[in-house]
Amino acid sequence: MPRNPDSWKSHLRARARDLGFDDIGFTSAAPLAHGDFLRDWLQQGRAGAMSYLSRGPRSNPRDLLEDANTLIVVAAHYSKPRAEPQTIAAYAQREDYHRVMRQGLESLGTVLEELAPGSRWQAVVDTAPLLEREAAQRAGLGWIGKSTMLVHPKLGCYTLLGELLWTAELEPDPPALDQCGTCRQCIDACPTGAIDAEYQLEPRHCLSYLTIEQRDAIPPQFREALGERAFGCDACLAACPFGAERVYEEGDLLPTAIPLRDGSLQELLQSASARFKKTFGWTPVERARKRGFLRGLLTAAGNSGDQSLIPQVKEWSQSEDSLLAEHARWALAKLDASSAPNS
């Protein structure tokens, strides 16, 4: 174990790679600059149903670990799908990343204890109130792109982030510089125009928000834009030219759950109806709950034009759950229209 703090960063980079992380960066635990932006954004009502965003400090890492001096940020790559759209967003086609990332961070935390006995650390995944994309940019892992997603120069947008707050002090890495330039492919690719200005997102129009965070009906004006998506949307990620060459390349940390990637709408509807917890409870899909996922699947069924789905959809149109029955009736109308001559 290296005794010289100057060599700690290289040692931690090697250990992070061993644990399956694709990159790691270091910055100070000083307050993050986007706190005022977040407050204004919340006051505009853009958080919609995401009331949890108003809880916690988010902009000051030391509110999570007093006396923290260093903020360590790690990135884990997950594979870009062969095609977009996917019924289930790529990040959710695998074990819940919160658990996997935390395990890796806790293993890295034991290395911190060995390097600086008596120091303290805390692992943070995105359920904790921390502005992690700004932290990642300040730690040199990438920049916040025009889509508002973090863009890693080699991995693109298909990354998940985790952090370690540490009371020991390390020299910060230089922050990443914005490389978006005049590109606007992510903006043009958004199915609903939710990226309503460069570096600005209207979450209440975002398909990921509508299928995951919102619990009531998907507004009719956005349903066709879903296509066959039922949980999340990768349109802006897939459009980004950075990381484009990493199609279907799997890392060690985040293996793909093959049945979720390749399941048909018919199979997914059956699984969501009959065995939701067993099939999806260990994945991020659980976030939408059974009702929310079925709502998305029924909408996707309507957009698919697949007449073989009519019996399943018709059954849900008679459900006692008014939300699911309404989405099923909408889907049946779409399927009927797609089967009509000259439709």
Q: Say if CB 135 and CB 175 are below 8 A apart.
A: no
Q: Which stretch of 187-201, 243-257, 295-309 has the lowest confidence by average pLDDT?
A: 243-257
Q: So what's the pLDDT on residue 244?
A: 73
Q: So what's the pLDDT on residue 259?
A: 73
Residue 252 known to be catalytic = no
Non-local CB neighbours of 28 within 8 Å, separated by 6+ positions: 69, 70, 71, 172
Q: Band of the pLDDT at 51, cuts 50, 70, 90? A: confident
DSSP track, 104-137: HHHHHHHHHHHHSTT--EEEE-TTSSB-HHHHHH
Please state, for a pLDDT cut of 90, what percent of the chain lies above it.
79
Both tokens of residue 138? 């300040």
Once rounded to an integer, what is the mean pLDDT over residues 143-163? 96
Q: Say if CB 254 and CB 98 are below 8 A apart.
A: no
Q: Band of the pLDDT at 246, cuts 50, 70, 90? A: low
Q: Band of the pLDDT at 331, cuts 50, 70, 90? A: very high
* pTM across the whole model: 0.92
DSSP track, 22-49: SEEEEEE-SPPTTHHHHHHHHHTTTTTT
Q: Say if CB 211 and CB 292 are below 8 A apart.
A: yes
Q: So what's the pLDDT on residue 310?
A: 97
DSSP state of 205: G
Strands 143-144 and 70-77: unpaired
Looking at per-residue pLDDT, the higher value among 127 and 237 belongs to 237
Domain boundaries, the chain: 5-79+93-166, 263-338
Q: Say if CB 16 and CB 10 are below 8 A apart.
A: no
Q: So what's the pLDDT on residue 321?
A: 98
Q: Band of the pLDDT at 341, cuts 50, 70, 90? A: low
**What b/e string do you get for 114-153 counting C-beta neighbours within 10 Å, with b at 16 or more?**
ebbeebbbbbbbeebbbbbbbbbbbbbbbbbbbbbbbbbe
Once rounded to an integer, what is the mean pLDDT over residues 120-141? 94
Q: Band of the pLDDT at 233, cuts 50, 70, 90? A: very high
Widest Cα–Cα separation across the chain: 76
Q: So what's the pLDDT on residue 249?
A: 53
Q: Which of 63, 126, 173, 306 is catalytic?
A: 126
Distance CA 20, CA 18 (A): 5
Q: Is the pLDDT of residue 250 over 60?
A: no
Looking at per-residue pLDDT, the higher value among 34 and 322 belongs to 322
Looking at per-residue pLDDT, the higher value among 251 and 267 belongs to 267
For 107-129, what is each residue's pLDDT tens digit?
Answer: 999 999 999 999 999 999 988 88
Once rounded to an integer, what is the mean pLDDT over residues 40-55? 88
Reduced to 3 states (helix: H, G, I; strand: E, B; else coil), residue 3 is coil
Q: So what's the pLDDT on residue 252?
A: 54
Q: Band of the pLDDT at 27, cuts 50, 70, 90? A: very high
Once rounded to an integer, what is the mean pLDDT over residues 210-229? 97
Q: How many CA atoms lie within 13 A of 256 on its CB side?
A: 18
Q: Band of the pLDDT at 62, cuts 50, 70, 90? A: very high
Distance CA 233, CA 84 (A): 9
Once rounded to an integer, what is the mean pLDDT over residues 233-255? 78
Which residue's structure tokens are 């879903």? 226
Once rounded to an integer, what is the mean pLDDT over residues 173-200? 97
Reduced to 3 states (helix: H, G, I; strand: E, B; else coil), residue 187 is helix
Q: So what's the pLDDT on residue 239?
A: 95
Q: So what's the pLDDT on residue 81?
A: 81
Q: Which stretch of 8-12, 57-61, 123-127 has the lowest confidence by average pLDDT?
A: 57-61
Q: Say if CB 1 and CB 233 are below 8 A apart.
A: no
Which residue's structure tokens are 């309503």? 196
The CATH number of domain 263-338 is 1.25.10: yes
Q: So what's the pLDDT on residue 35?
A: 84
For 280-319, what is each residue's pLDDT tens digit?
Answer: 999 999 999 999 999 999 999 999 999 999 999 999 999 9
Q: Is the pLDDT of residue 251 over 60?
A: no
Reduced to 3 states (helix: H, G, I; strand: E, B; else coil), residue 214 is coil
Mean pLDDT over the full length of the chain? 92
